């Protein structure tokens, strides 16, 4: 197990500087345009693919960094560039992780390359779990997958919503109910291959922020996929369902808590995205406060402004430390006895919302216009307290973990 460290090693610093260069030279200059266009920034994704930032290999390398700092460092730099564009670059990773976590070696080898495409023909993937009536309450999911044994096919019906890259993805990973009696343990994940009949994009959402990231409904109307598209395979599913039924008989709570542990490990990555956005806004505000003069002196000479900057920086550093700690715990298999993953996401996302608002205040009228980037960063930051579990859900998970009561 790697010791927890707050110091990046030389190799990590090199990767960080390389990512920062891409974020500063390619992502940030394109941010305002793609925010206004509210479209997927395909040319930027293609640039990322050309230099090796848009590939599973790159993220796998960061993920398996035993210090745990690889992923948070990468997320912070890319989202420092711009949250909407960065989500378009890393959003495919959500679906890829779904396949890596549950798929067989053959499924991983077949589908992940099709999720990314290549630098000449980039593709994206979507992970579709949320539904109109199943957001925080995942167990109330309704999309149904029924096995047609005669044809060895699964038939999926339902409507998914808020899917990042939904409908424009080459490969969709869809979570569906296979046994309604078992709540979230009766769910399974399916690959929907490119061009499958019955899958269509519903409404594309016009959003408050991260507008360069495509978010849409995905409608599944008698979608038929081969048996081989069930992630992990039928035998493993049957065994898992049998175990879940048995555990449910013994006392369902243990089943639910096991599911929560998975989220603990992935939440620090979202915290790191929030740190990136917060740091970007803080840097703009610091620069502005030292150059903008009113009453014959830079506005930072007023304690009211200076103290805000001190608080902003303190919160950002504290958020990063929580994120790094949780990432290190996840990679090294340390149990999240105080829901440290949720803590990091909660604190970092609330920090991003607050700091970007403070940045607008420090820039005054300019901060409120689209001439300066903090207005966009503030709109972008609002997503962090919503997706991958809202702040209320994080608090609920932390409180219940501390109290030792079941998470429902």
Ligand X SMILES: Cc1cc2nc3c(=O)[nH]c(=O)nc-3n(C[C@H](O)[C@H](O)[C@H](O)COP(=O)(O)OP(=O)(O)OC[C@H]3O[C@@H](n4cnc5c(N)ncnc54)[C@H](O)[C@@H]3O)c2cc1C
Region near ligand X per CB under 6 A, out of 9-17, 128-136, 270-278, 336-344: 128-136
Looking at the Cβ atoms of 65 and 350, the one nearer to ligand X is 350
Looking at the Cβ atoms of 55 and 164, the one nearer to ligand X is 164
For residue 70 the two structure tokens come to 């690889």
Q: Which of 12, 107, 130, 344 binds ligand X (CB under 6 A)?
A: 130
136 binds ligand X (CB under 6 A): yes
Residue 265 backbone class (left: φ over 0; alpha: ψ -120 to 50; beta: rest):
alpha
Looking at the Cβ atoms of 115 and 210, the one nearer to ligand X is 210
In whole angstroms, give the CA distance from residue 384 to residue 361: 20
Q: Least distance in Å: CB of 263 to ligand X?
A: 11
Indicate if 388 belongs to the active site.
yes
Burial class of 212 by CB neighbour count within 10 A (0 to 12, 13 to 18, 19+):
buried
Q: Least distance in Å: CB of 207 to ligand X?
A: 6
In whole angstroms, give the CA distance from residue 368 to residue 381: 15
Active-site option among 153, 246, 388, 392: 388
Bridge partners of residue 368, in order along the sequence: none
Region near ligand X per CB under 6 A, out of 15-23, 59-67, 122-130, 274-282: 122-130
Q: Least distance in Å: CB of 386 to ligand X?
A: 5
- Residue appearing with tokens 């700092």: 69
Q: Which of 54, 80, 111, 127 binds ligand X (CB under 6 A)?
A: 127
- Number of residue whose CB is nearest ligand X: 135
Q: Least distance in Å: CB of 38 to ligand X?
A: 12
Binding-site size, ligand X (CB under 6 A): 20
**Cβ neighbours around 323 below 10 Å, total:** 33
Q: Least distance in Å: CB of 12 to ligand X?
A: 28
Looking at the Cβ atoms of 129 and 344, the one nearer to ligand X is 129
Residues 6+ apart with CB under 8 A from 14: none
Q: Positive or negative CA dihedral for 209, 397, 69, 123?
A: negative
Site for ligand X in 202-221 (CB under 6 A): 207, 210, 215
Q: Least distance in Å: CB of 85 to ligand X?
A: 14
393 binds ligand X (CB under 6 A): yes
Region near ligand X per CB under 6 A, out of 42-50, 56-64, 156-164, 310-318: 156-164
Looking at the Cβ atoms of 16 and 144, the one nearer to ligand X is 144
- Residue appearing with tokens 């505000």: 285
Site for ligand X in 94-113 (CB under 6 A): 94
261 binds ligand X (CB under 6 A): no
Q: Which of 22, 79, 111, 387 binds ligand X (CB under 6 A)?
A: 387
Tell me how far CA of residue 116 lies from CA of 50, 52, 163, 267, in angstroms.
Answer: 12, 11, 17, 23
Site for ligand X in 349-368 (CB under 6 A): none
- Strands 125-128 and 171-177 come out as parallel
Q: Least distance in Å: CB of 205 to ligand X?
A: 7
40 binds ligand X (CB under 6 A): no
Q: Least distance in Å: CB of 295 to ligand X?
A: 42
Quick note: the x/- pattern for ligand X over 163-182, rule CB under 6 A, is xx------------------
- Taking the chain, what is the end-to-end CA distance rounded to the nearest angstrom? 32
Looking at the Cβ atoms of 279 and 379, the one nearer to ligand X is 379
In whole angstroms, give the CA distance from residue 399 to residue 386: 18
Q: Which of 113, 135, 202, 252 binds ligand X (CB under 6 A)?
A: 135
Q: Which of 17, 140, 392, 402 binds ligand X (CB under 6 A)?
A: 392
Where do contacts with ligand X occur on this chain (CB under 6 A)?
94, 127-130, 135-136, 162-164, 207, 210, 215, 383, 386-387, 390, 392-393, 396
Catalytic residue positions, numbered: 388
């Amino acid at each position: 197990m790697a010791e927890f460290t707050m110091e990046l090693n030389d190799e990590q610093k090199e990767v960080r500087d390389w990512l920062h260069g891409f974020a500063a030279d390619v992502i940030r200059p394109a941010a305002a345009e793609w925010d206004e266009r509210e479209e997927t920034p395909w040319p930027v994704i293609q640039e990322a693919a050309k230099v090796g930032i848009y590939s599973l290999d790159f993220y796998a390398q960061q993920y398996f960094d035993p210090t745990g700092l690889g992923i948070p460092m990468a997320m912070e730099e890319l989202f420092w560039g711009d949250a909407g564009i960065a989500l378009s670059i890393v959003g495919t990773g959500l679906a890829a992780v779904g396949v890596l976590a549950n798929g067989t070696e053959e499924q991983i080898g077949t589908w992940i390359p099709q999720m990314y495409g290549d630098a000449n023909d980039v593709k994206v993937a979507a992970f579709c779990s949320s539904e109109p009536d199943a957001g925080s309450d995942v167990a109330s999911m309704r999309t149904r997958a029924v096995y047609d044994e005669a044809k060895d096919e699964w038939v999926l019906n339902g409507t998914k919503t808020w899917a990042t890259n939904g409908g424009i993805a080459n490969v969709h990973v869809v979570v569906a109910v296979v046994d309604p009696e078992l709540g979230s343990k009766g769910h399974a994940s399916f690959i929907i291959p490119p061009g499958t009949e019955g899958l269509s994009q519903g409404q594309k959402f016009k959003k408050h922020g991260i507008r360069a990231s495509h978010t849409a409904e995905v409608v599944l109307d008698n979608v038929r996929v081969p048996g081989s598209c069930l992630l992990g395979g039928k035998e493993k599913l049957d065994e898992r369902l049998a175990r879940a039924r048995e555990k449910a008989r013994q006392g369902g709570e243990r089943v639910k808590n096991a599911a929560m542990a998975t989220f603990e490990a992935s939440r620090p990555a979202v915290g790191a995205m929030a740190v990136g956005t917060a740091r970007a806004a803080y840097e703009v505000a610091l620069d502005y406060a030292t150059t903008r003069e009113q009453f014959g002196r830079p506005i930072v000479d007023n304690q009211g402004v200076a103290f805000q900057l001190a608080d902003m920086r303190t919160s950002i550093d504290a958020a990063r430390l929580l994120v790094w700690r949780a990432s290190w715990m996840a990679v090294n298999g340390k149990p999240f006895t105080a829901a440290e993953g949720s803590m990091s996401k909660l604190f970092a996302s609330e920090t991003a919302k607050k700091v970007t608002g403070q940045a607008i205040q420090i820039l005054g009228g300019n901060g409120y216009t689209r001439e300066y980037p903090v207005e966009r960063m503030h709109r972008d930051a609002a997503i962090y307290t919503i997706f991958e579990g809202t702040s209320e859900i994080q608090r609920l998970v932390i409180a219940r973990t501390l109290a030792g009561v079941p998470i429902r």
